[in-house]
Structure 1
Amino acid sequence: MSFLNAYVLPLTVLAALGSGLIAGLFFTFSNTIMKALSRMPPEQGMAAMQHINVVILNPVFLGIFVGTAVLGVVLGLRAVLTPAGWISVWLIVGALAYVVGSFALTRIVNVPMNDALARADATAAVAAVQWPAYVEPWLRWNHVRTVASIVAALAFTLAAVQMSRATAA
């Protein structure tokens, strides 16, 4: 038994957990944080988001966010190279949902938007134009990231359940 085969179940559980944590974070932004910031005067909401975008780049968040993407790639490749029926299907679905719908989407869409916001001056005149133009598309893409992360968590969980049943049988 290879090293990866011996640890595929715990790695899948970790991928489910990481996807779930990120889904919760994205959901909190969609459901609460962005709504609260949008109710503030534009310069205050914009300044608060600029601070959030700095503070969120910490080792705990990055470890979970990037680590789950790495797990997704590893598990997805393992599923393609060593097919195992529905277990492989769920691993591939989880990997694609997280790596593409959460990780890549963040890097391609949300991070450039955050970088542009960081360069802007949160004065009343600038914020009155830039903040509303930022919030709506950022939030729309965040909803997509939330759903993708939920799908990934569910798919990895289904794969783990089927693995544990196969092991018990």
Structure 2
Amino acid sequence: MIDGPFFVLTLVAALGCGLVAGVFFAFSTSVMRTLAALPPAQGIAAMQKLNVLIINPWFLLVFVGTAGVCVVVAVVTFVLWPDPGTVALLLGSALYLFGSFGVTVAANIPRNDALAKLDPQAQESVEPWRSYVREWTAWNHVRAAGALAGCAAFVLGLAA
């Protein structure tokens, strides 16, 4: 059974994963749909601004902080191996670190960087914008699912 400070750490990891999953879910189901429905110049400009404003202490604390907590949980899990719940905790850490944080770094951030270079008013930005919305949202679904699955794995680990 997980208890003491490791219980608290694992609970923080579960809550962080759940919160990040919620943010990504909201983006996929409402924000990106709204931006895609706007005229391209407005959608591009709005997403460019969102990509700047999302880099703030609160978001970074939850997004990067959860990654850090997942690393610590994974390390402690190896020390406790093969106690009950350790497989679920290791899986939860991997799902968040690779399925959410890793996907962000490998797929979403490069697309954000490319979008930042577009001129919202230029006609030649329309097709890259449409591709961006489609691809970015697909990868956002993946990272939302990774964070949610990580949350579920941590909850299962706590229940073991």
TM-score band w.r.t. shorter chain: over 0.9
**1:77 aligned partner:** 75
Contact 1:13 1:156 survives alignment (8 Å): yes
TM-score (norm 1): 0.89
Deviation beyond 6 Å, 4+ runs, structure 1: none
Q: Superposition pairs for residues 48-63 of structure 1, below 5 Å?
A: 48-63=46-61
Give 5+ residue unaligned stretches, structure 2.
none
Of residues 5, 8, 27 in structure 1, which corresponds to 2:6? 8
Contact 1:42 1:124 survives alignment (8 Å): no
Identity of counterpart residues, as a percentage? 42
Aligned length: 158
**2:88 aligned partner:** 90
Distance in 2 separating the partners of 1:148 and 1:37: 24
Give 5+ residue unaligned stretches, structure 1.
163-169
Contact 1:17 1:153 survives alignment (8 Å): yes
Deviation at residue 6 of structure 1 after TM alignment = 4.0
Deviation at residue 130 of structure 1 after TM alignment = 1.5
**2:127 aligned partner:** 129
**2:42 aligned partner:** 44
Letter in 2 for 1:27: F
TM-score (norm 2): 0.94
Distance in 1 separating the partners of 2:119 and 2:79: 50
1:18 aligned onto 2:16: yes
**1:167 aligned partner:** none
| 2:46 counterpart SS class | helix
Contact 1:75 1:95 survives alignment (8 Å): yes
Contact 1:23 1:147 survives alignment (8 Å): yes
| 2:85 counterpart SS class | helix
| 1:97 counterpart SS class | helix
RMSD of aligned C-alpha atoms?
1.3
**2:111 aligned partner:** 113
Distance in 1 separating the partners of 2:134 and 2:59: 24
Distance in 2 separating the partners of 1:126 and 1:117: 12
Deviation at residue 124 of structure 1 after TM alignment = 4.1
